Structure 1
Amino acid sequence: MRLYRMQELKDYIQQHEKASIDELCQAMRVSKSTLRRDLDLLAGEGWIEKVYGGVKYRDSSQLIPYENRGVLNAEAKRAIGRRAGELVEEGDVLFLDSGTTTPYMLESLSGKHVTVLTHSISVINAAGALPDVALFALPGLYYPKTKSFRCMDTVAFLRKYNITKAFMAASGFSRSGVTNSATWEYDIKQYAAHNAQKVYLCIDSAKFGVTRMMTYCEAEQLTGIVCEAAPGEEWLEYLEEKGVELIL
């Protein structure tokens, strides 16, 4: 019960960026003494910072709003999305991650009979316009910053399906693995990356060497990385060492 409450508390603080003690007591339906113990634990783990009268999420500056991310490297994202879409084969069951790159994949899926599982509202809107795509929208609470859905039942829903290919987004890729800033998406990303037959990371080259808060996937788990340009020689050697194909 406490693990569920702690996850709910982390999700609430990250979504709102900051919150008062009274607000959190009401939202979590706990006493102030219970809440303070939970907050002490989160502060000790580095998730939050205590401020006067409440707390704030320590990593909030790293999660760029979806609208702003969409215009960063827009042409690279479109190229990556289209190339990733070319890796899809007839009959595939796909997991398409949230983010500003994966929606571009739908431009390459016209005429292909595939199944798409996603928690991204942008992918849902794009896939819904394609008559040959069977679309499953994962359930959950809507998070505006990532334009995605997530709740305690999202992963349980995802477990029902055998994913042939997962196309993942990330805030960074480094020797720490595939990392992300949005903690509320961690369990979804981790499950998809661990259970798909093939896993493709769709990132632009600027994200190589970047590490964010949580690692949801190790490099060895990746089938390939779809990128608009080759990273430095150091990363080419690292990908070869890990058996990860670079797809330009």
Structure 2
Amino acid sequence: MGRDTRHEAIIHLISKMREVSVQYLVERFGVSEATIRKDLTFLEEMGYLVRTHGGAILAEDRNQEVPLPQRESRNLEEKLAIVARAREFIHEGDTIFIDSGSTCRLLAREVRDMTIRVICHSLGVYEELKAAPNLSLFGLGGSYRKDAESFIGPIAVDNLKYFQIQTCFIGAASFNEKGIFAAQNIIEAQLKSEVLAASQRRIILADHTKYNTFGFSVFARPGDFDILITDRGFQGRDTLTALGIEVVMA
């Protein structure tokens, strides 16, 4: 196994297990302890993990680690308003990207009757759209993260090069008055950032409860996206508009 393949495998393991030991990785990959330590050092420098005594843990904000099924029932009325507004930005024949997360899954449910192409990395989005009769569905692949029900990592990022995206819809774990949007961990943030860079029109979906909460891994700042769609409970519209961000209230 080459170094890059091993790095991808380590990312997959740590995204699934949250914590791994050097000894476990040595036995898993049949390489020396020195090699594994070099791998972990490299992946820490890339932001994927944090070294610990004898191993590593996933670099993420554990304060936001809430299982997806629990998140889906929170602020449901606001999320439904957001996705109804988001649908207005989608037209028949479009090619769009739908991110992972509870709001994005609701958006997938909203577009099932459309004749469009959807690129996704979320199992939940796939489940919503797999039987849609007139819709073409494309998956990015990658390492599966069970609690987020999504595929992430270098494979997912690399596969973006095969698509031209007209409009992307990205979820956020948090955002603040400086127009900084964040994800739960660096692996998710990297994919979101790459999708934004690959898309012609870039839309972030976030309800008001995400505002001015701490975010661990930044994926967007003002200028990195075009529109924020949020609900009418959001109190920071003037603040973000002053930064040049178009805020659409749902």
RMSD: 2.8
Of 65, 71, 74, the match for 1:72: 74
- Would you say the 8 A contact 1:9–1:28 is kept in 2? no
Measured after TM superposition, the shift of residue 130 of structure 1 is 1.9
Identical amino acids, percent of aligned pairs: 23
Q: What's 2:210 paired with?
A: 207
Q: How many Å apart are 1:187 and its aligned residue?
A: 3.3
Distance in 2, matches of 1:12 and 1:60, equals: 18
Paired residue for 1:32? 33
1:247 aligns with 2:249: yes
- Name the CA distance, whole Å, in 1 between partners of 2:31 and 2:123: 32
Kept in 2, the 8 Å contact 1:186–1:216? The answer is yes
Paired residue for 2:234? 231
| Residue among 173, 177, 182 paired with 2:180 | 177
Distance (Å, rounded) in 1 between the aligned partners of 2:11 and 2:52 = 14
Matching residue within 187, 191, 196 for 2:190: 187
Secondary structure at 2:93 match in 1: coil
Counterpart for residue 196 of structure 1? 199
Q: Secondary structure of the residue that 2:80 maps to in structure 1?
A: helix
Q: Which moved more, 1:4-13 or 1:86-95?
A: 4-13
Q: Which amino acid aligns with 2:235?
A: G
Aligned position for 1:165: 167
Give the structure, 1 or 2, with the largest relative contact order (CA under 8 Å, sep 6 or more).
Answer: 2
CA–CA distance in 1 between the matches of 2:238 and 2:187? Answer: 31
Between 1:66-75 and 1:127-136, the stretch displaced more is 66-75
Q: 1:81 maps to what in 2?
A: 83
1:149 — aligned with what? 151
C-alpha distance in 2, partners of 1:147/1:101? 13
Distance 1:244 1:157, change over 3 A: same
Q: Tell me which of 126, 134, 137 is aligned to 2:136.
A: 134
Cα distance in 2 for residues equivalent to 1:40 and 1:191: 23
In the alignment, is the contact (CA less than 8 A) between 1:127 and 1:133 conserved in 2? Answer: yes
Distance of aligned partners of 1:79 and 1:18 in 2 relative to their CA distance in 1, 3 Å threshold: same
Structure 1 residue 109: Cα displacement? 2.1
SS at structure 1 position matched to 2:89: coil
Deviations 1:149-187 (A, max 9, x none): 235332333222211100001111122622111333333
Q: Tell me the SS of whatever aligns to 1:135.
A: strand
Distance in 2 between residues matched to 1:13 and 1:126, nearest whole Å: 28
1:100 is aligned to 102
Structure 1: where are the runs of 5+ without partners? none
Give the TM-score of the pair, scaled to structure 1.
0.84
In the alignment, the residues of structure 1 paired with residue 69 and residue 113 of structure 2 have an alpha-carbon distance, to the nearest angstrom, of: 29
CA positional deviation for 1:240: 3.6
Q: Is contact 2:48-2:58 (8 Å) kept?
A: no
